[in-house]
Amino acid sequence: MLLIAGLGNPGATYAKTRHNIGFMAVDEIARRWNFGPFRSRFASFTSEGSIATPDGAVRALILKPQTFYNESGRAVGEALKFFKIEPENLVVFYDEIDLAPGRFRMKAGGGAAGNNGVRSITSHVGPYFRRARLGTGHPGQKELVHGHVLSEFHKADQKWVEPLIAAVAEALPILAAGEDEKYQTEVMRLAPAEKTDPRKATRDAT
């Protein structure tokens, strides 16, 4: 079984913010692959379904922690323990300020790089999970990061947000098959975005 977690903050206030692009991604995955309705469990909203791959269907659980972003690990840890899922079968979709807007990178293991949601998950399940990093750009100064991630996407951002979200859902069978590098390549083929300095790209977009 694959556990697909999206990071974000609960409630309408945060729904359209950069920090919630992980929620946006898993919502689109659930829609694209006809997952079941979301229900409340593991301090999260969860949805179950399956993903067709060349080797057969892969069962998957989508998880949207409702614990607030910085405490995501508690919900993820509960779900992993309940289903006896190994961390290598956990994929976490989240915003990455150190990637230019629209860029996408897969990474397995490693540190939190200042992301408190990732740090929380690591504290509960260890670092050896798969990270699906959705580039949202950097505001340029450390003291502006908090406001940046909790601000809503600009209308101009939709030209890359919508294609990126669609691409991560469309290419999902590759991820479900365990081919993370190929998944990254396919997402960027479906939703190409220029590789630029994440700080410069974000300033230019404002």
Alpha helices in 18-156 (DSSP H): 21-32, 72-83, 116-125, 145-149
Question: Degrees (nearest 5) of the Cα angle 44, 29, 135?
Answer: 90
Catalytic residue among 19, 146, 148, 154: 19
Cα(160)–Cα(147) distance, rounded to whole angstroms? 21
Cβ-contact 205, 101 below 8 angstroms: yes
Cβ-contact 26, 6 below 8 angstroms: yes
Is 138 catalytic? The answer is no
On the 0-12 / 13-18 / 19+ scale of CB atoms within 10 A, 160 is buried
Cα(61)–Cα(3) distance, rounded to whole angstroms? 5
**Catalytic machinery residues:** 19
